[in-house]
Amino acid sequence: MAILSLNHVVKKYRDHTAVNNVTFDIEKGSIFGLLGPNGAGKTSLIRMITMITAPDSGEILLDGKRLDRSHIQDIGYLPEERGLYKKMKVAEQLLYLAQLRGLSLATAKQEVKYWLDKFEASDWWNKTIEELSKGMQQKIQFIATVLHKPDLIILDEPFTGLDPMNTNLIKEEIYRMNNEGVSIIFSTHRMEQVEEICKDIVLINNGKVVQTGTVEGVKQKYKEHIYKVEFEDRFEGSLNGSYTVVSQNANSIVIKNPDETSGNDLLADLIKSGAQIKSFNEMLPSLNDVFIKIVENTNQQ
């Protein structure tokens, strides 16, 4: 079942169509990648999902119901640009934001204490935001996003300003909440993070959906039939001319198959050549390579 459904959503700003007939579903309990180059329409989509703006046409459903203001406490949003008040104290700000999301003051205090303790940040209680480093501010922004326990969390570049240790800390919390049933939309330009964290993606370009599917499925779709073979000893065999050698050294070779030839055919030919094979692996493109290829192709259409 979908936690979020967008059905033929359109958003225009004067004569510019930022979102053009966009339709996709996000399954409940998933970590979903919302991808696209700058100006693709991602921010416009997020602003509609978070009810900052409304679609000009189409509909957005949250858990099967048309999105409206009653859903505000069901959604958490961490924007790419920090939305914190620099002069306010950390606890004062978190308590204020928690109550805006429907928590009582008593519950808000419990949640703020829990999260500050969890992030070993109890001594930040009375510090102002401007006293904190960028990484510390990002952790406070993350706490503000999740402390009201939303069903759907939208994370836009959540690791900005974080060192590797704090990046892992936030990742652990993302995985933990997801394991507890929270659905997460993850938006970033870092494709290696998408490959690591997300199972499903949608790629937007020029306001339109240009690719959807699982990360693995999309990579399989754009594979180029390239294999890396490692040998026990030096490879001195030969292959027929239908194969293209991409690179080669003493103990390994990278080969591109003709599209009509399977990996099994290549493996059989290598064995016939007398090669002592140590490993045989298909080299799938990175999601970054796929992203660039799709965007370039759609920009040319």
**Per-residue pLDDT tens for 26-65?**
999 999 999 999 888 999 999 999 999 999 999 999 999 9
Asked whether the predicted pLDDT for residue 237 surpasses 80, the reply is no
Provide the 8-state DSSP code for 243: S
Report the mean per-residue pLDDT for the chain: 90
Q: What is the pLDDT of residue 301?
A: 65
Catalogue the long-range contacts made by 12-20 (C-beta closer than 8 Å, 24 or more residues apart): 12/56, 17/207, 18/44, 18/207, 19/44, 19/45, 19/48, 19/55, 19/207, 20/206, 20/207, 20/208
Instruction: Give the domain ranges of the chain.
Output: 2-212, 224-283
The residue among 139, 122, 120 whose CA lies nearest residue 82 is 139
CATH architecture of 2-212: 3-Layer(aba) Sandwich (3.40)
Q: What is the pLDDT of residue 260?
A: 67
**Per-residue pLDDT tens for 257-270?**
887 677 888 888 88
Query: What does R_g of the chain's alpha carbons equal in angstroms?
Result: 24
Least confident of 3-17, 76-90, 144-158: 76-90
16 CB-near residues (< 8 Å, 6+ apart)? none
CB 155 within 8 A of CB 174: yes
Token pair 């690719």: residue: 211
Token pair 């225009």: residue: 12
CB 143 within 8 A of CB 119: yes
